Amino acid sequence: MMIQAKHWNSLIEPGITAIVGAGGKTTVLSKLVEYAGLIGQPTLVTTTTKLYESQVALWNPYYGTDFNDAEDACHKAMQRGRCAAWFSGVDGTKVTSLKPQAIDAMYMVHPNWQILVEADGAKEKWVKAPKTTEPIIPSKTTTTIGVVNLQMLGTELTEKHVHNLGAVAQIMERAEGAVVTPSMLARLVLHPQGLFQYSQGKRILFCTGYDTVQHRIIDSFLDALADSKFSMIVLADGYKASCEIARVIQWQ
């Protein structure tokens, strides 16, 4: 537990943290909320895309677009020692997004808050390439965390595990159905239209599925990232509540 707290706490800081990619974004967000609460870091959760209402109900969100009412609701949640959450509304089974300008404005008023933004959609796939309209990242974002699932290594490029398959295949320069190699996955991470498209602030690569792939293959993937400009690379085992960080590599 102590080492897990140390690892997760290395990702926690005041400012806007946008989480993008596929294969564990909501898991990362939930873990950051959990560990931020343990160290008393005021935290607000929101999104510029959509999240399932069931995923955020625990935080008793404020729904609406009135800034002052939202700020008041967030303050009250934090005064009770809880994580705050703010979304514009509910559409069916999902909560709806805030405008990035509203998130920037909240950060300007409360720079001591950690504001966690799920900024990308991936339909629960392992990897994705963004469309030209995504991700939607607030301009004041201080950290962008890009998530990929390492289980994609050695797996075929199909719609079963890949969101926006055609774009991913194009970036990887392989046909649909090709088996993903370390260099192909690295290409998706590093490409200007890949994982970190439109990223702001420092960049952290968060890799889930570390316990499911031979480590020599993962080492080849890391070698292919040698010249990249990340502040750190995180390798994590498990998924959802069982997700644990195995390694944190200070990169640049």
pLDDT of residue 144 exceeding 90, the answer is yes
DSSP state of 48: S
CA-to-CA distance for 29 and 240, rounded, in angstroms? 10
Residues constituting the chain: 252
Does residue 221 lie in a domain region?
Answer: yes
Residue 133 near residue 198, CB atoms below 8 Å: no
Residues 6+ apart with CB under 8 A from 6: none
Q: Is residue 119 part of a domain?
A: yes
Determine, yes or no, domain membership for 69. no
Task: Give the integer Cα–Cα distance in Å for 88 and 115.
Answer: 16
202-235 pLDDT, tens per residue? Answer: 999 999 999 999 999 999 999 999 989 999 999 9
pLDDT of 172? 98
Closest CA to 176 of 164, 190, 186: 164
Question: Tens of pLDDT along 99-115?
Answer: 999 999 999 999 999 99
Residue 130 lies in domain = 2-47+113-250
Answer whether residue 94 is part of any domain. no
pLDDT of 145 reads 99
Q: Distance between CA atoms of 211 and 52, rounded to whole angstroms? A: 27
Helix (H) or strand (E) holding 27: helix 25-38
| Torsion sign over Cα 233, 160, 214, 243 | positive
| Gap between the Cα atoms of 141 and 155, Å rounded | 33
Number of domains composing the chain: 1
Specify if 35 maps to a domain: yes
Residue 105 is assigned to a structural domain of this protein:
no
| Per-residue pLDDT at 168 | 97
Q: Which residues pair with 126 in a beta bridge?
A: none
On whether residue 82 sits in a domain, the answer given is: no
Res. 241: pLDDT tops 90: no
What is the rounded CA–CA span in Å between residue 143 and residue 141?
Answer: 6
What tokens appear for 98 in the block?
């805030």
pLDDT beyond 80 at 240: no
Residue 66 belongs to a domain: no
Query: How far does the chain reach from its first CA to its final CA, in angstroms?
Result: 27
